[in-house]
Amino acid sequence: MPAYEPPVSEVLSVLREVLVPEAEGLDLPTLEAVLAEGGRFATRVLAPLNASGDAEGCRLEQGAVRTPAGFPEAYRQFVAAGWPALSQPERWGGQAMPRLAQLALDEMIAATNFSFGLFPGLTRGAAEAIARHAAPELQERYLPQLVSGAWAGAMALTEAQAGTDLGLLATRAEPRRDGSLSVTGSKIFITAGDHDLAENIVHLVLARLPDAPPGVRGISLVLVPKFLPDDQGRPGRRNAMAAGALERKMGIHASPTCVMHYDGAEGWLVGAPHRGLAAMFTMMNAERLFVGIQGLGIAEAAGQAAADYARTRLQGRPPGVAAGPPQPILAHPDVRRMLLTIRGFTTAGRALALWLAMQLDRAEEDAEAEGMVALLTPVVKAAFTDWGFEAAVLGQQVLGGHGYVRENGLEQMVRDARIAQLYEGTNGVQAMDLVTRKLAAEGGALPHRFFALVRAALQAAPEPALTEALNRLEAATRHLQRKGAEPAEPGAAAAEYLRLFALVSLGWMWLRLRAAAGPSGLPHHRRWRQAADFFFARLLPQSAGLAAAIAAGPATLMVPAEDVF
Amino acid sequence: MPAYEPPVSEVLSVLREVLVPEAEGLDLPTLEAVLAEGGRFATRVLAPLNASGDAEGCRLEQGAVRTPAGFPEAYRQFVAAGWPALSQPERWGGQAMPRLAQLALDEMIAATNFSFGLFPGLTRGAAEAIARHAAPELQERYLPQLVSGAWAGAMALTEAQAGTDLGLLATRAEPRRDGSLSVTGSKIFITAGDHDLAENIVHLVLARLPDAPPGVRGISLVLVPKFLPDDQGRPGRRNAMAAGALERKMGIHASPTCVMHYDGAEGWLVGAPHRGLAAMFTMMNAERLFVGIQGLGIAEAAGQAAADYARTRLQGRPPGVAAGPPQPILAHPDVRRMLLTIRGFTTAGRALALWLAMQLDRAEEDAEAEGMVALLTPVVKAAFTDWGFEAAVLGQQVLGGHGYVRENGLEQMVRDARIAQLYEGTNGVQAMDLVTRKLAAEGGALPHRFFALVRAALQAAPEPALTEALNRLEAATRHLQRKGAEPAEPGAAAAEYLRLFALVSLGWMWLRLRAAAGPSGLPHHRRWRQAADFFFARLLPQSAGLAAAIAAGPATLMVPAEDVF
């Protein structure tokens, strides 16, 4: 496996030169130092455990989950270095760094050890839900431990019969006399539901109270710890919950995906009764951005590994050269096409994600920023994970047959990247969220506010290919916002519309990157310019086919009878 | 895992109703009976070993490769039933069925047990090379055994430093006094290089004679058996060759991918000295069609599995329905889109492959047919394996998180399908073959002969979307055929050009399928009509973006400096 180079200088260049107005007031020198340290942690501690973790996997022994060799020690170092607390509030022991620092760290972790990143990622999600919705005494008891990483978190949503359709879930939560709840039921697909990294694991479980109305309006959120804290707040009595099985999966083998059984487990309500989904969804934007970043991290890692291979693998000769010794395959146009397709996502995708992370930091006091977060989050989650997977597949293709062999690492990236398109709401669910809720938000004005940003950038730096794609996106948006459309219209357009939206969003960032570079001869400016030219000439024209598919409407999807499929 | 339904009636309907002029004279009742029996073999014998073969994999024990449990017995039954001989010449014990029978059988094998299909696939390739190029005494000695399947075949091309660039290979073949050759060298990626299915394995090894010129014009083809036949033609003395290692791979775990060492192994020249590549390439069309069919088989299996899931998984409600019990997810437009995208490939792809198989049968006496085979083979190899992989990924997506879990089978299909894009010449190599050799063939007239077929079908049954795509393809073809283009022009266009070519080829078959269906109310006619409508409305418009990328030329690929990648 070639060495991974953390993209720290790229992050800083984007903040210093491209996202200039948005990044005003950020302490960039501190950020740079922190990310450099994070990059060292990722490459020195996490990367060496990636292939071995995949090969060994997790196992369930006498009811307890064991992670692969080296993972407990790596997590101990991760906690000792303070990484779990990076972007958490100071009140609970956090370092209150901006979310973009978290994002850049998460990218490097996903690039070097995708599975490892899920443990702190879920812990952060649980902490955020508790910080926003739990009673003060629960916050005092749990947040310092979760923020430090001494305790870990898990989210228990899915049941066998209730995946995307959470209204079907059946786990029960019965009140006890002391005000706590007794939780009974079985959950599946619980990432990090049990493991040996932390001394306690705090589950947030979706369950129904006895008087719950049916459907999604009758779901409550319940905090259920693996060990009940004693009077000193230390892990005490074992709760009535256990991992019943581990899924055997395509990838992320070092991340245990548990079947969890709760058998009258003791828990406490978080947020209002029957309002559990709303409580869960307030942290969903951050979680979905996190998953999108996993796609970005894998794409960057795959691109670097494939480019390294292409620079050193000698096969054939450049176009127009008939004889002579073999040359690096980077000379071949099709190899360049594959590598630039990856780059066409990563550099602008990172800039877009940094921009979105800044919006997320502002969202609580700034409704405009909040709207942008709501709009772009499904786009980033779905498109970044699709492109992340596609980048891993392209990177693997650059290696030819060598990409199919385990020891070269690319095939693990493909297997690991695949999950990000499926969990945290499948990418189809993201697309539906975009074309229904998000297009209707602010009376339909929300997407047009975003398009105005792209238009403004185009006025400052014209690019006909982007103007054309934006025109297509705006037309598709108006089409989907029309009243009286068929009920199947949004769903029929959803996947292609999200991809079109994502392409325009990337184009917006490539425009800003190229404009910031200007005619400068600095290497990173030249790189931005050359990659942007490729994006506009070769990738953005996909918008034509997407627009045509959207315009075709739902008929050819909805007319076919069941036996056509 | 849901049951796989062999598409036998679909094959027969296409031959009886769509490929009518081409299929004249075929014995369709016999074909139907043979394929029905082949389908039963695939579903009853091969399918049950697919998941277990993946989980167990092959192992190397004391220099001998062991296949997973059940594979030797399944192969014994396969030979006993006469399947290896299906399309082989009668002279060597074959049944001389047309190639399309072989193709339809290979599709069902790939759908039910991708790994298993490689053993007879390679044996057939070896037999074909020997039948065409070896001396009569070698043919007498080896062909009856290979045709019956009692002995297996293997192709030993790749070396560590020589993959796509076979000119770099270094394995030596030194003449002995008795006219045989002594072969010394190491090969990698040798599929079925050693195993326990057959009593002997006949390797065709690319090697250099002592007086060989450098490069690809100095490569000879050498027959090297694992056991040297004795006077009775039975496997006798062990040859000086052995599997040194097995690759650990992403998929096809039941197919051993061997590092092979030849240490003065005894062999015999096949074909003329230094003309080994030409001998190898005469059978390449059939091998590449075979690999394309593997993509088709996986796509059909993934589509069937995903559709079964979508018909029975209850989540959410159809568009426009606000309340009520959960409905099958097949009601959701985006699920239909994914399933129809798979179907948009499989039905027309199968028809195209059947058509191409008939051309291949005629190619020896019909130069026009030979040209079509040459033209369409790289298209089918690359596009069918790309679409096969994409179909497996889409099928997996239909299952959501359940698709990521091993027991549901889709994730194995994704891992297995991936190899077909990489071996037998990567898909990038196929695209280069198309845009260079094939566009130049017949003085540049060859592709236009194919386009004339599509034009004629359009005159009989107009379809504006296909006319537009064909216009784009013809324009791109003329662009690439222009003299004086930059050397990098073909390579820069290759991948998108092949995809555009493949879309138009599928469109041609959808047009013929829909025209054959007419307004008939028969179920399979309605299916063809409805799927064709989807293809033209939602998939074929991808041609716009592909044409734009081709037209953009090589500049944005070739200008970027090395550090952009």
What average pLDDT does range B103-112 have in this prediction?
Answer: 98
From chain A, the residues in CB contact with B304 under 8 A are: none
Mean of pLDDT over chain B:
97
Give the fold, CATH level 3, of A8-281: Butyryl-CoA Dehydrogenase, subunit A; domain 2 (2.40.110)
Q: Is the pLDDT of residue B485 over 80?
A: no
Predicted pLDDT at B1: 58
User: Which residue out of B394, B556, B563 would a mutagenesis test of the A interface target, given it has the greatest number of A Cβ atoms within 10 Å?
Assistant: B556
Give CA angle at A418 (A117, A171), nearest 5°.
70
Over pLDDT 70: what percentage of chain B? 99
Alpha-carbon span A221 to A269, nearest angstrom = 6
Alpha-carbon span B334 to B340, nearest angstrom = 10
**Tokens, residue A276:** 């559990």
SS3 B248: coil
Segment holding A125, helix H or strand E: helix A114-133
Alpha-carbon span B146 to A14, nearest angstrom = 62
From chain B, the residues in CB contact with A562 under 8 A are: 311, 330
Predicted pLDDT at B550: 97
Between the CA of residue A2 and those of A9, A40, A309, what are the distances in Å? 19, 15, 8
**A52 close contact with B: CB closer than 8 A:** no
Helix, strand, coil in percent for chain B, rounding step 5? 60, 15, 25
Alpha-carbon span A299 to A288, nearest angstrom = 17
A249: nearest CB among B248, B333, B404? B404
Q: Quick check: B240 and B263 in contact, CB under 8 A?
A: yes
**E strands within B38-177?**
59-61, 64-66, 151-156, 172-175
- Residue B323 has φ and ψ, to the nearest 5°, of -140, 175
Contact call for A565 and B426, based on CB within 8 A: no
Q: Quick check: B361 and B372 in contact, CB under 8 A?
A: no
**A499 close contact with B: CB closer than 8 A:** no
Give CA angle at B404 (B399, B407), nearest 5°.
90
**Tokens, residue A166:** 């959470």
Reply yes or no on whether B468 is catalytic: no
Contact call for B562 and A311, based on CB within 8 A: yes
Predicted pLDDT at A285: 85
Which residues 153-212 of chain B have a CB within 8 Å of chain A? 158, 161-165, 168, 189
Between the CA of residue B437 and those of B219, B284, B431, B482, B537, what are the distances in Å? 21, 15, 10, 14, 33
| Domain over A283-556 is classified CATH 1.20.140.10 | yes
Half-sphere exposure of B405 (CA within 13 A, CB side): 18
**Tokens, residue B197:** 């299915």
From chain A, the residues in CB contact with B564 under 8 A are: 340, 343, 526-527, 530-531
Instruction: Give me the interface pTM, i.e. the ipTM.
Output: 0.98
The owner of tokens 């009376």 is A443
From chain B, the residues in CB contact with A335 under 8 A are: 428
- Residue B485 has φ and ψ, to the nearest 5°, of -70, 160
What average pLDDT does range B527-553 have in this prediction?
Answer: 97
Alpha-carbon span A261 to A187, nearest angstrom = 7
Domain with CATH 1.20.140.10 in chain B: 283-554
Between the CA of residue A560 and those of B5, B292, B506, what are the distances in Å? 20, 28, 19
Q: Residue B282's pLDDT band (boundaries 50, 70, 90)?
A: confident
**Tokens, residue A30:** 């501190």
Give CA angle at A477 (A473, A478), nearest 5°.
120
Residues in chain B: 565
**Tokens, residue A23:** 């990044």
Contact call for B492 and A333, based on CB within 8 A: yes
Residue by residue, pLDDT tens for chain A (565 residues) are 568 999 999 999 999 999 999 999 999 999 999 999 999 999 999 999 999 999 999 999 999 999 999 999 999 999 999 999 999 999 999 999 999 999 999 999 999 999 999 999 999 999 999 999 999 999 999 999 999 999 999 999 999 999 999 999 999 999 999 999 999 999 999 999 999 999 999 999 999 999 999 999 999 999 999 999 999 999 999 999 999 999 999 999 999 999 999 999 999 999 999 999 998 887 888 899 999 999 999 999 999 999 999 999 999 999 999 889 999 999 999 999 999 999 999 999 999 999 999 999 999 899 999 999 999 999 999 999 999 999 999 999 999 999 999 999 999 999 999 999 999 999 999 999 999 999 999 999 999 999 999 999 999 999 999 999 999 999 999 999 997 778 999 999 999 999 999 999 999 999 999 999 999 999 999 999 999 999 999 999 999 999 999 999 999 999 999 999 9
Give CA angle at A65 (A61, A70), nearest 5°.
110
Domain with CATH 2.40.110.20 in chain B: 8-281
**A456 close contact with B: CB closer than 8 A:** no
Provide the β-strand partners of residue A181: A175, A267
- Please, which residues have CB within 8 angstroms of residue A548's CB and are 6 or more apart in sequence? B541, B544
**A415 close contact with B: CB closer than 8 A:** yes
**Tokens, residue A356:** 């979105």
Please tell me which residue of chain B has the smallest CA distance to A465: B548
From chain B, the residues in CB contact with A391 under 8 A are: none
The owner of tokens 């050819």 is A556
Kindly report, residue by residue over B235-255, the tens digit of the pLDDT.
999 999 999 999 999 999 999
**A324 close contact with B: CB closer than 8 A:** no
Which residues 256-295 of chain A have a CB within 8 Å of chain B? none
Q: Which of B107, B128, B390, B424 is catalytic?
A: B424
CATH of B283-554, one of 1.10.10.10, 2.40.50.140, 1.20.140.10, 3.60.40.10: 1.20.140.10
Predicted pLDDT at B283: 80
**A339 close contact with B: CB closer than 8 A:** yes
Q: Quick check: A237 and A404 in contact, CB under 8 A?
A: no
Helix, strand, coil in percent for chain A, rounding step 5? 60, 15, 25
Rounded to a whole number of angstroms, the distance from the CA of B448 to the nearest CA of chain A is 25
Rounded to a whole number of angstroms, the distance from the CA of A527 to the nearest CA of chain B is 5
Question: What's the sign of the alpha-carbon dihedral B444, B445, B450, B455?
Answer: positive
Alpha-carbon span A404 to A262, nearest angstrom = 41
Predicted pLDDT at B284: 84
Contact call for B557 and A495, based on CB within 8 A: no
**Tokens, residue A310:** 């292409």
Please tell me which residue of chain A has the smallest CA distance to B390: A390
Alpha-carbon span A305 to A326, nearest angstrom = 21
> How many CB atoms neighbour CB A91 within 10 A?
12
Rounded to a whole number of angstroms, the distance from the CA of A390 to the nearest CA of chain B is 10
**Tokens, residue A98:** 């901006």
Contact call for B530 and A303, based on CB within 8 A: no
From chain A, the residues in CB contact with B330 under 8 A are: 562, 565
| B234-245 per-residue burial string, b: 16 or more CB within 10 A, e: under 16 | ebeeebbbbbbe
Q: Residue B2's pLDDT band (boundaries 50, 70, 90)?
A: low
Q: Nearest Cα to B418, choosing from B383, B391, B389? A: B389
Contact call for A558 and B495, based on CB within 8 A: no
Q: Is A173 exposed, middle or buried (0-12, 13-18, 19+ CB in 10 A)?
A: buried
SS3 A224: strand
Kindly report, residue by residue over B495-511, the tens digit of the pLDDT.
999 999 999 999 999 99
| Residues of A with catalytic function | 424
DSSP string, B186-209: EEEEEETSS-SSSSEEEEEEEEB-
> How many CB atoms neighbour CB B181 within 10 A?
24
Predicted pLDDT at B281: 83
What average pLDDT does range B110-128 have in this prediction?
Answer: 97
From chain B, the residues in CB contact with A565 under 8 A are: 303, 307, 310-311, 330, 336, 339-340, 343
Say if strands A257-270 and A220-225 run parallel, antiparallel, or are unpaired.
Answer: antiparallel
From chain A, the residues in CB contact with B400 under 8 A are: 163-164, 422, 426
Q: Residue B224's pLDDT band (boundaries 50, 70, 90)?
A: very high
Between the CA of residue A260 and those of A240, A241, A242, A256, what are the distances in Å? 11, 7, 6, 11
Mark residue A175 as left, alpha or beta (left: phi above 0; alpha: psi -120 to 50; beta: remaining).
Answer: beta
Domain with CATH 1.20.140.10 in chain A: 283-556
Query: What torsion, rounded to 10 degrees, do the Cα atoms B55, B59, B65, B71 define?
Result: -20
